[in-house]
Amino acid sequence: MVRCSVTLLVQCVEKHLIVFGRVQGVGFRAWTKRQAEDLGLEGWVRNNSDGTVETKFRGGRAEVARFELLLHQGPKFAQVSSIRPVGEDSEMLEISAGTFVILKNEAL
């Protein structure tokens, strides 16, 4: 497990993704948090008002790649139809090192 830090910045990857499909009301955020924590990733996940789930995370290359594969599968009752990267740059929220959080839903 690789922790991102200033000294390990070269090895760290950061992604910002939108997950489409049946991903709300199926435990997707809690499942995402558990998977991210198991992989040692930092970041956040939230529901969006359009029915999608948004997540931004960072970690080692291998862990980030594994997490992306897991997101395509989703938890048992989810049906992920697609995952798209967010085009614009955005800042990682100030969170404690090694923390992955569930944010409040996007404003409706």
Q: Point out the residues that are catalytic.
A: 29, 47
Distance in angstroms (rounded) separating the CA atoms of residues 79 and 28: 10
- Return the axis-axis angle of helices 28-39 and 61-73, rounded to nearest 10°: 160
- Alpha-carbon distance of 20 to 13, in angstroms, equals 22
